[in-house]
Amino acid sequence: MYETNIKGIEEIVKENEEWRSGCINLIASENVTSKRVRKAMASDLMHRYAEGHPGERYYRGTGYIDRIETGLKEKMKKLFSADNVDVRPICGTNANQAIFGVYTKTSDIAFVNSTPGGGHISHHKSGNLGMLITNIKDLPLTEDGYHIDIEDTKSLVNRIKPKILVLGKSLFLFPEPIKELEDVCKENKVKIIYDAAHVLGLIAGKQFQDPLSEGADIITGSTHKTFFGTQRGVILSNVNKKEWSKIDKGAFPGSSSNHHLDTLAGLAIATNEMLEFGEEYAKQTIANAKSLAVSLDKYGFNVQAKQFGYTMSHQIAVDVAEHKGGNEVSKNLEKNDIIINMNLLPDEEVNKAKIPKGIRIGVQEMTRFGMKEPEMEIIAELIKKCIIDEAHIKEEVNKFRDNFQNIEYSHDN
Ligand SMILES: Cc1ncc(COP(=O)(O)O)c(C=O)c1O
């Protein structure tokens, strides 16, 4: 049923807010923002336009916006040790679009992570990249499915000479082999584009690989998964001025015009929070992911990549084929206020995307609400009760979640 009445819509918004505050959200691509970030978003800035760069706008009335944007860029450069940053993409897909448009022309070849291998749709035939080129090849994986096969990739790069190599993915458990592929890419003039949408906050917190120092030419990313929000995108790079000027045009006017100034101000505050709390947060997030993996394994779940310690990121992957697959499991959990997404696993066919055997779990949001290892053990037990014992646990979930309502790693409290 849809709602047309204003009061009715307001009621839905409120109900969603209340319901969400009782849920355990384990969607790996989401996070929550601090009160101060939200306050900045709910301001006059949401009405404004500011195309171009601070001090060189195509609009008047942007003085305050210019101050926010200039400060944000400086802080991003510091966080990622990057000479150049563009904070205007309004999401990660938009950042990818800007870059793909600059680095590819119709006849070019790209290497990307496949969909079952964890790659994102914007890298694929039906997404951003596919709208520019048709020759998109999947990177070879090692037998476990969670790592790129370095030797095979090297020989493919030497033989096929793609224009770009896109690293980074949506099911992202372990660092990518940037260092290992850097030389072969340089020799063949292949640009390494690292999509950090999922792991941007872990990189900022210095707990994951450092793509630019390891040899990536460009980082793109979303600012709201492991980063502290708001929902936007970013491009970072140390390429020379001439090359950066092309990327600059890719971001504007190439892939966006106005760039949503309410979320810009929110991101500026979130970036300050990252500078102050990012390291502690990223450490705890990864520790929580490992802890949840160990506990789920203990309950008999088929947690993936056990031989590699399950994960080095905020995510874990679980094969739930024996529990009727990812679709059923995610629906049953949702009925009990635990929210996760179903996910293809690397050894599945892409046509199984709506009935995959896997689930993907991310702990970054619950970590932001202050949960630590003991709480991960409780979450694993709740999942076990729901999926293995087929028990109704909604009230237990809500009661547990009641104790975690503040946004930590912020100055909210
Ligand atoms: C690897 C990767 N790249 C890009 C994106 C797109 O990000 P956004 O939703 O900010 O457009 C995602 C989204 O989940 C992703 O996982």
CATH for 218:
3.40.640.10
What is the mean predicted confidence (pLDDT) over 190-201?
Answer: 98
For a substitution probing ligand 1, which of 97, 99, 170 has the most ligand atoms within 8 Å of its CB? 170
pLDDT at res. 4: 86
Decide whether any atom of ligand 1 lies within 6 Å of the 197 Cβ: yes
Kind and range of the H or E run holding 191 = strand 191-195
Residues 241 and 381 both lie in one domain: no
Decide whether any atom of ligand 1 lies within 6 Å of the 97 Cβ: no
User: How many residues can be counted in the chain?
Assistant: 413
Residue 403, pLDDT above cutoff 90: yes
Give the total number of structural domains in the chain: 2
Q: How many helices (H) and strands (E) does the chain have?
A: 14, 15
Residues 351 and 209 both lie in one domain: no
**Looking at the DSSP assignment, which residues form a beta bridge with residue 239?**
none
Decide whether any atom of ligand 1 lies within 6 Å of the 226 Cβ: no
Residues 143 and 259 both lie in one domain: yes
For residue 344, what are the domain limits?
7-29+277-402
Q: Write down the mean pLDDT value for the chain.
A: 97
For a substitution probing ligand 1, which of 91, 123, 222 has the most ligand atoms within 8 Å of its CB? 222
Q: How far apart are CA 246 and CA 244, in angstroms?
A: 5
Of the residues 232, 255, 270, the one at which a domain ends = 270
Question: How many Å lie between the centroid of ligand 1 and the Cα of residue 115?
Answer: 13
pLDDT at res. 192: 98
Q: What is the DSSP string of 201-241?
A: HHHHTT-S--HHHHT-SEEEEESSSSS---S-EEEEE---H
Residue 252, pLDDT above cutoff 90: yes
- Distances in Å between the Cα of 21 and the Cα atoms of 190, 374, 405, 410 are 46, 20, 7, 18
The residue among 208, 199, 166, 198 whose CA lies nearest residue 185 is 166
Decide whether any atom of ligand 1 lies within 6 Å of the 163 Cβ: no
What's 319's domain CATH number? 3.90.1150.10
CA 77 to chain centre: 19
Residues 289 and 161 both lie in one domain: no
Maximum Cα interatomic distance, the chain, rounded to a whole number of Å:
62
Question: How many Å lie between the centroid of ligand 1 and the Cα of residue 68?
Answer: 25
pLDDT at res. 224: 98
* 411 belongs to a structural domain: no
Question: How many Å lie between the centroid of ligand 1 and the Cα of residue 180?
Answer: 25
Decide whether any atom of ligand 1 lies within 6 Å of the 230 Cβ: no
* 248 belongs to a structural domain: yes
Q: What's the pLDDT tens digit per position in 75-111?
A: 999 999 999 999 999 999 999 999 999 999 999 999 9
Residues 187 and 55 both lie in one domain: yes
Decide whether any atom of ligand 1 lies within 6 Å of the 91 Cβ: yes
**Residue ID of nearest Cα to ligand 1 atom 12:** 197
For a substitution probing ligand 1, which of 91, 115, 120 has the most ligand atoms within 8 Å of its CB? 120
Residue 413, pLDDT above cutoff 90: no
Of the residues 207, 236, 270, the one at which a domain ends = 270
pLDDT at res. 132: 97
Of the residues 270, 293, 319, the one at which a domain ends = 270
Residues 148 and 201 both lie in one domain: yes
Residue 1, pLDDT above cutoff 80: no
Residue 266, pLDDT above cutoff 90: yes
Residues 337 and 282 both lie in one domain: yes
Decide whether any atom of ligand 1 lies within 6 Å of the 291 Cβ: no
* 410 belongs to a structural domain: no
* 204 belongs to a structural domain: yes
| Residue 193 pLDDT grade (very low, low, confident, very high; cuts 50, 70, 90) | very high
Decide whether any atom of ligand 1 lies within 6 Å of the 207 Cβ: no
pLDDT at res. 405: 98
**Residue ID of nearest Cα to ligand 1 atom 3:** 197
Kind and range of the H or E run holding 60 = none
Kind and range of the H or E run holding 194 = strand 191-195
Cβ atoms of residues 72 and 271 within 8 Å: yes
* 357 belongs to a structural domain: yes
pLDDT at res. 93: 98
Cβ atoms of residues 324 and 342 within 8 Å: no
Residue 263, pLDDT above cutoff 80: yes
Burial of 149 (0-12, 13-18, 19+ CB in 10 A): middle
Decide whether any atom of ligand 1 lies within 6 Å of the 233 Cβ: yes
Q: How far apart are CA 219 and CA 290, in angstroms?
A: 26
Residues 302 and 230 both lie in one domain: no
For 318-338, letters b (16+ CB in 10 Å) and e give bbbeebebbbebbebbeebbb
Atom of ligand 1 nearest to the CA of 232: 10
Q: How far apart are CA 91 and CA 181, in angstroms?
A: 27
Kind and range of the H or E run holding 295 = helix 261-298
Percent of the chain with pLDDT over 90: 99
| Residue 385 pLDDT grade (very low, low, confident, very high; cuts 50, 70, 90) | very high
Decide whether any atom of ligand 1 lies within 6 Å of the 368 Cβ: no
Decide whether any atom of ligand 1 lies within 6 Å of the 168 Cβ: yes
116 DSSP assignment: T
**Residue ID of nearest Cα to ligand 1 atom 16:** 170
Specify the 3-state DSSP secondary structure of 86.
strand
Question: How many Å lie between the centroid of ligand 1 and the Cα of residue 89?
Answer: 12
Residue 349, pLDDT above cutoff 90: yes
Cβ atoms of residues 202 and 282 within 8 Å: yes
Residue 165, pLDDT above cutoff 90: yes
Tokens of residue 40, six digits: 């900045």
Tokens of residue 297, six digits: 């394994």
pLDDT at res. 25: 98
Residues 246 and 309 both lie in one domain: no
For 365-384, letters b (16+ CB in 10 Å) and e give bbbbbbbeeebbbebbbbbb
Residues 162 and 259 both lie in one domain: yes
**Helix ranges (DSSP H) in 85-173:** 92-103, 150-160
Q: What's the pLDDT tens digit per position in 30-67?
A: 999 999 999 999 999 999 999 999 999 999 999 999 99
CA dihedral 135, 359, 202, 248 (to 10 degrees): 30
